[in-house]
Amino acid sequence: MPQETGVSGSTATRLDPHPPQQPAPVGERRLSVPQSRSGIVERCDLVAALLASTATVITAVAPPGYGKTTMLAQWAERLGDRACWVTCEDADNDPTTLWAAIVAALQRLAPPGWAGPELLAHTGVDLAAVPALVAAVSAIRGRVVLVLDQLEAVRSRESWAALAEFALRLPPGWQVAFGSREPLPLPVSRLRMQETVLEIGVDRLAMTSAEARELFAGAGLALTDAEADDLARRTEGWPAGLYLASLAMRAGVPAADLMVAGGDRLMRDYLRSELLDRVAASDREFLVQTSILDQLSGPLCDAVVGRTGSTRVLEQLEARNLLVVPLDRRGEWYRYHHLLRDLLQSELRNLDPDSVREAHLRAAAWHTANGRVGSAIRHAQLAEDADQVAGIVLTEMQPLWVSGRVETVRAWMDWLSRHPTSRYYTAIAAHAALIFALLGRSGDAERWGAAADTRLTDTVLPDGSTEAGTRAYLHAILARSGPAATRRDAFAALDGLSPVSPYRPTMHHTIALSYLLEGDLDRAEAGFAEAHDLAVAAGARPLVAMVLAERHLVARARGDLLAADQHLEAAVKIVESERLESFWTSALVLAAAARSSAARGEMPAARSHVRQAAHLRPLLTHMLPVVSVQALLELTQAYVDLVDPAGARAALQQAGEILLRRPGVGSLAADAQRLGARLGQITKSPPVGASSLTAAELRLLPLLPTHLSFPQMADQLALSRNTVKTQVASLYRKFGVSSRREAVERITQIGFSV
C-alpha cells in the first residue's frame, strides 16, 4: 500500500516514499526590510504611533501608493533586530510556504536548537497546526514584531485561517503587522472588542501639507507653502500622486499645470505622458515586455526580452527613480511599483498575443532551469501550455507534497482538471486520486480515479515509467476487486514503472499484502521482507515502519511472538524517533502497538497509542481499504482490551463501512465478524466519551478550539452547515457538555488538544 502522507485537519499524509524534507530556502529578498531611497519622507507621526502602540495586531490597509510599505519599513528600522519582515507573494497561498517564510524570518531571533524548522519539516501547515506553531515560536523571548507586507497576494482561505488563528494566539510581548492593498479577512470585530488591534487606513496614511512640503524640498523643488498646500489638497494627500508630481516638476512641468488624481484614481494618461513618454523607446519596450514578471533580475529579463544587458537597464531605471524598486541589498532583484506595473500591463494587452505568450514561455523555461518551480508553472499556465504545466507538475508534485505544500499541489490539480488534454493527464489524474484518497476526500479521489481510466494511453513519463504502469499502481492500491486482482495490478505496475521509480517498494508491499489476505503466510512474509529491504534502500522510512507492522501481524499469526515483538518495536521506534505520528502510514503501527501494549497489561502505553491512532481515523477510508481496515481492526481489539466498548464499536463500525464498499478484502471480513461477535457479548458499557467519536467527528474536533464559526467550519470541511450542526450536537452529547467552551475544555482534559 502507499507510503504516502499529506495534511488534513490534525492529521498528515505524505505522497512520497522518502523521509520528510526541509522546506525550500526562502529568498533573502523576501525577508529583507525594504531600503529607504532618496526623497522618501519620514512618516514621523505614524512611526511614533506604532512605537507607542500596545496593540498586538496592526493593520495597514490602503490602495496602491499610500506608503504602507514605507511606513512599516521605517517602523521596522527603528525597532532594529527585534523586527522580522516577510514580503508575501503568490506562493504564500499555500500556508506551508507562508509559514516557511515566517519561520525563516524568525530564525535569527530563535534560541539554539529551535524546533520551528523541524516542525515544518515533519508536517504541513493548516489551521489545526497553529497551536503547535505558536508553542514553537513562544521559545523566542522578549519583544518580537513580525511584519507581513503585500498580503493582497494571499487569497487562499487556508492561509488566512491559519494567520487569523495565529493573530489571536500571539505569545506575550509579540506584535504582528499586516500590510495590504485589500481588506484583510481577519476577525477584526473580535480584536476590536479585545482592544488589541490598531487600524491604519487611507485617512492616516494621507500626507499632511507639512509632509508634502518636505517631499518637494527633498526633490530639490522650491515651492511656496501655498503651492505645496494646493498640491496636497488636489492629490488628497496621496503619497504616490505627490511623488509623481515632483517627478513632473523636475522635468519642467509648472505646478499649476499638474493634473494629478487622488487615491487610486491615477490617470494612466498622466503616467504615460510624464513617465513612459520620457524614456527611450528601447527602455519603454523593455519595461512593457518584462511587466509579465512579479520580480525581475538581469538574467531573467535577458531570457524574456531575448537580448543581454538587462542588469544595466534595471540599475539605470532604479537610479532614475522610475518606480523600479530594489528587493535586495546586492542589486540582483527588483520589482516594478504596482502603479507602474498596472500601466505597463495595460500597454502589454495592446501587443500581439502570440508575442506575450512567447514571453511567458521564455520566463517559464528560465524559472525551470533555475529550480523556481512555482514561477515556472505560473508562467506556463499564463501561456496556456497545459503540456508544459503537466510535465513540471508530474516531476515536482511528490517532492513538493512531501514538504507539506498541500495547497500548492491541490491548486495545480484544479488547473489541470480544466485542461484535460495535456500530454500526461492520465498519470496526473492517477496521482491526484491518491492525494485526495490520503486526505480522506473520497469523492474527489473517485472523480480523479475515473479520469485516470478515461484515456487509456501509454505515454512514457519523464522518469521512464509508462502511464499504463502508473494507472496499474493506482488500481493496485485502491484494491477494488479482491486480492488476486490486486496482485495482478501490482505486477502490471512493476512492469510499467521505471527501474528507478520510488514506487516499486510499495508494489512489493501490495503483492505481499494480497498473499496475507489469502492466508498464505509464507509468501506474505517473503514478500514483506523484500518490500522492507527495498524500502530501506530507498530511504522510505514511513513505508519501512508500515511494512514492519505487517511483518508483526504475520509473525503473530504464526505464533512467533518474539519476532512479532521485535518487528513492532522497530516500527514504533521509527515512528517516534522520526516524528511520523501524524502520517497515514503510521496508523497500522500505532494501532498494533496499542493492541500489543494492552495485551501485555501496559495500559498507559496502550492508551497513548490509541489516542495517536485515533487522530488518523479520518484518513482511513474505502479508497485505501486494506491497510485502513487492518488498522481499524487492531484499534478495535485494543479498545476491547482497554474495556472501552464504545471506542471499539466506533472503530469497528468504520471498518464495516469500508467493507461494504470494498468487500473483496479476503480474511479481513471474517476478522471483523469475529470481533463484532465478541463485542456483542460485552454488556457493560461505560459512559460514552471521546473514543466513540466517528471519523467525521474526529475531523471536526481540531476546529472547535479555533476562531472559526460553525458556518466557517462547514466551508473549511466542504460540508453543509446542517451536517456540521448535527456533528457538533453529537460530539457535545458524547462529551457530556452543552457548549463549545465546555467541549474545548473537555478536549484538552482528555488529551485530544492539537
Predicted pLDDT at 122? 55
In this structure, the answer to whether residues 678 and 574 fall within a common structural domain is: yes
Is 168:707 a contact under the CB 8 Å cutoff?
yes
How many other C-beta atoms can be found within 10 angstroms of the C-beta atom of residue 729? 10
| 638 falls within a domain | yes
Residue 261 carries which side chain, given as an amino acid letter? A
Q: Calculate ∠ Cα 150-153-156, nearest 5°.
A: 130
Distance of alpha carbon 303 from alpha carbon 177, whole angstroms: 37
| 445 falls within a domain | no
The alpha carbon of 400 is separated from its chain's Cα centroid by a whole number of angstroms, namely 10
DSSP string of 89-137?
Answer: -GGGGSHHHHHHHHHHHHGGGSPTT-SHHHHHHH----GGGHHHHHHHH
Is 17:531 a contact under the CB 8 Å cutoff?
no
pLDDT (average), residues 238-246: 80
Cross-strand bridge partners of residue 57? 176, 197
Predicted pLDDT at 402? 64
CATH number for position 537? 1.25.40.10
In this structure, the answer to whether residues 192 and 59 fall within a common structural domain is: yes
Most confident of 78-92, 342-356, 685-699: 78-92
In this structure, the answer to whether residues 47 and 169 fall within a common structural domain is: yes
Of the pLDDT bands very low, low, confident and very high (cuts 50, 70, 90), residue 552 is very high
Distance of alpha carbon 511 from alpha carbon 658, whole angstroms: 21
Predicted pLDDT at 12? 41
CA distances from 709 to 167, 425, 729, 747 (A): 16, 38, 15, 18
SS3 content of the chain, % helix, strand, coil (to 5): 65, 5, 30
Is 531:508 a contact under the CB 8 Å cutoff?
yes
In this structure, the answer to whether residues 674 and 649 fall within a common structural domain is: yes
The cell numbers describing 217, all together, are: 524640498
pLDDT (average), residues 175-185: 92
In this structure, the answer to whether residues 737 and 617 fall within a common structural domain is: no
| 497 falls within a domain | no
Task: Give the long-range contacts of residues 384-388, CB within 8 A, separation 24 or more.
Answer: 384/357, 385/361, 386/416, 386/419, 386/421, 386/422, 386/423, 387/422, 387/423, 387/424, 388/361, 388/364
pLDDT tens-digit map of 450-463 = 888 887 777 888 88
Distance of alpha carbon 568 from alpha carbon 556, whole angstroms: 10
Q: Where are the alpha helices (DSSP H) in 290-372?
A: 298-305, 310-319, 338-348, 353-369
In this structure, the answer to whether residues 63 and 200 fall within a common structural domain is: yes
In this structure, the answer to whether residues 674 and 729 fall within a common structural domain is: no
pLDDT tops 60 at residue 647 = yes
Q: Kindly report which listed range (95-109, 428-442, 677-691) carries the lowest average pLDDT score.
A: 677-691
Closest CA to 665 of 652, 676, 655, 675: 655
pLDDT (average), residues 70-94: 92
Distance of alpha carbon 298 from alpha carbon 311, whole angstroms: 4
Residues contacting 180, CB < 8 A, separation 6+: 59, 60, 61, 68, 150, 151, 152
In this structure, the answer to whether residues 53 and 120 fall within a common structural domain is: yes
The cell numbers describing 114, all together, are: 529551535
pLDDT (average), residues 114-123: 69
Is 20:402 a contact under the CB 8 Å cutoff?
yes
The cell numbers describing 119, all together, are: 516542525
In this structure, the answer to whether residues 553 and 587 fall within a common structural domain is: yes
CATH number for position 147? 3.40.50.300
Percent of the chain surpassing pLDDT 70 = 89
Distance of alpha carbon 46 from alpha carbon 60, whole angstroms: 11
Where among 660, 682, 704 does a domain terminate? 682
| 592 falls within a domain | yes
- Dihedral sign for Cα 677, 679, 682, 684, please: negative
| 320 falls within a domain | no
Phi first, then psi: give them for residue 297, nearest 5 degrees.
-135, 165
How many other C-beta atoms can be found within 10 angstroms of the C-beta atom of residue 251? 10
Is 672:663 a contact under the CB 8 Å cutoff?
no
Of the pLDDT bands very low, low, confident and very high (cuts 50, 70, 90), residue 750 is low
In this structure, the answer to whether residues 566 and 640 fall within a common structural domain is: yes
pLDDT (average), residues 95-118: 86
Is 717:730 a contact under the CB 8 Å cutoff?
no
Number of structural domains found in the chain: 4
Strands 333-336, 296-297: pairing is antiparallel
Closest CA to 467 of 453, 481, 447: 453
Residue 676 belongs to what H/E stretch? Answer: helix 667-680
The cell numbers describing 309, all together, are: 544587458
Q: Kindly report which listed range (296-310, 414-428, 636-650) carries the lowest average pLDDT score.
A: 414-428
Predicted pLDDT at 223? 82
Distance of alpha carbon 38 from alpha carbon 228, whole angstroms: 19
| 134 falls within a domain | yes
pLDDT (average), residues 596-603: 93
In this structure, the answer to whether residues 135 and 231 fall within a common structural domain is: no
Predicted pLDDT at 266? 45
Is 120:134 a contact under the CB 8 Å cutoff?
no
Phi first, then psi: give them for residue 475, nearest 5 degrees.
-60, -40
Q: Which residue has the higher pLDDT, 30 or 302?
A: 302
CA distances from 431 to 412, 440, 547, 636, 709 (A): 12, 14, 22, 31, 33
Distance of alpha carbon 384 from alpha carbon 379, whole angstroms: 9
Strands 333-336, 324-326: pairing is antiparallel
Q: Which residue has the higher pLDDT, 283 or 77?
A: 77
CATH number for position 736? 1.10.10.10
Q: Kindly report which listed range (192-201, 382-391, 611-620, 740-749) carries the lowest average pLDDT score.
A: 740-749
pLDDT tops 90 at residue 422 = no
Phi first, then psi: give them for residue 267, nearest 5 degrees.
-80, 120
Distance of alpha carbon 663 from alpha carbon 660, whole angstroms: 6
Percent of the chain surpassing pLDDT 90 = 39
Most confident of 437-451, 532-546, 722-736: 532-546
pLDDT (average), residues 304-311: 91
pLDDT tens-digit map of 313-328 = 888 887 766 677 788 7
pLDDT tops 70 at residue 151 = yes
Predicted pLDDT at 558? 94
- Summary mean pLDDT of the chain: 85
Q: Cell 511472538, residue?
A: 561
Predicted pLDDT at 56? 94
In this structure, the answer to whether residues 133 and 236 fall within a common structural domain is: no
Of the pLDDT bands very low, low, confident and very high (cuts 50, 70, 90), residue 11 is very low
Predicted pLDDT at 256? 66
pLDDT tens-digit map of 444-493 = 888 888 888 887 777 888 888 898 899 999 999 999 999 999 999 999 99
Residue 84 belongs to what H/E stretch? Answer: strand 83-87
CA dihedral 321, 322, 328, 331 (to 10 degrees): -90
DSSP annotation of 373: H
| 383 falls within a domain | no
Distance of alpha carbon 461 from alpha carbon 150, whole angstroms: 38
| 62 falls within a domain | yes
Exposed/middle/buried for residue 375 (C-beta within 10 Å: 0-12, 13-18, 19+): buried
Where among 233, 251, 266 does a domain terminate? 266
Predicted pLDDT at 39? 63
Q: Calculate ∠ Cα 151-152-155, nearest 5°.
A: 95
Where among 177, 204, 231 does a domain terminate? 204
Q: Kindly report which listed range (352-356, 396-400, 603-607, 623-627) carries the lowest average pLDDT score.
A: 396-400
pTM for the structure as a whole: 0.78
Domain that holds residue 737: 695-749
CA distances from 236 to 63, 179, 202, 246 (A): 13, 21, 10, 15
Q: Cell 530564525, residue?
A: 107
pLDDT tens-digit map of 136-148 = 888 898 899 999 9
How many other C-beta atoms can be found within 10 angstroms of the C-beta atom of residue 550? 27
